[in-house]
Structure formats: C-alpha cells, structure tokens
C-alpha cells in the first residue's frame, strides 16, 4: 500500500516524464505496473518495445 504523499509524487513524476518525452501516461503506467506485477527488472529495450505497442 502506497502512502498518499508517495502516490502524489509518483503521479507528478509520471506526468512530467510523459509530457517531457511526449509519451502516453496511461501506457507508461501500464508498462511499469506490468513489470512490478511480474517482478521483472525493466530494461531499455523492453521499455521501447512496450511504448511502441498501440
């Protein structure tokens, strides 16, 4: 369970990242959650492939 301040900071950071890198914030969150759920370590190639999917 996330503390409210942690969740707010996470959302703010994701918004900034998505805006700066012109990414779909929902897609970024989905990719991060998938990696966390599966217990995998994210790598650059995996993130690129995930972001390219429609």
Confidence grade of residue 52 (pLDDT, cut at 50, 70, 90): low
**Is 7 part of any domain?**
no
Greater model confidence, 12 or 46:
12
Q: Please check whether residue 28 is in contact with residue 14, taking contact to mean a CB–CB distance below 8 angstroms.
A: yes
**Is 6 part of any domain?**
no
Is the entire prediction scored with pTM above 0.75?
no
> Domain range for residue 45?
23-54
**Is 4 part of any domain?**
no
Q: 22-37: buried (b, 16+ CB within 10 Å) or exposed (e) per residue?
A: eeeeeebeebeeebee
In the chain, the number of structural domains is: 1
Summarised one tens digit per residue, pLDDT across range 1-32 is 556 777 888 889 989 988 888 888 888 888 88
**Is 2 part of any domain?**
no
Q: Please check whether residue 14 is in contact with residue 29, taking contact to mean a CB–CB distance below 8 angstroms.
A: yes
């Amino acid at each position: 369970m996330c503390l409210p301040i942690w969740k707010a900071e996470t959302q703010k950071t994701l918004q900034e990242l998505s805006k700066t890198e012109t990414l779909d914030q929902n897609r970024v969150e989905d990719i991060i959650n998938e990696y966390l759920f599966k217990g995998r370590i994210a790598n650059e190639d995996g993130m690129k492939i995930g972001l390219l999917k429609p």
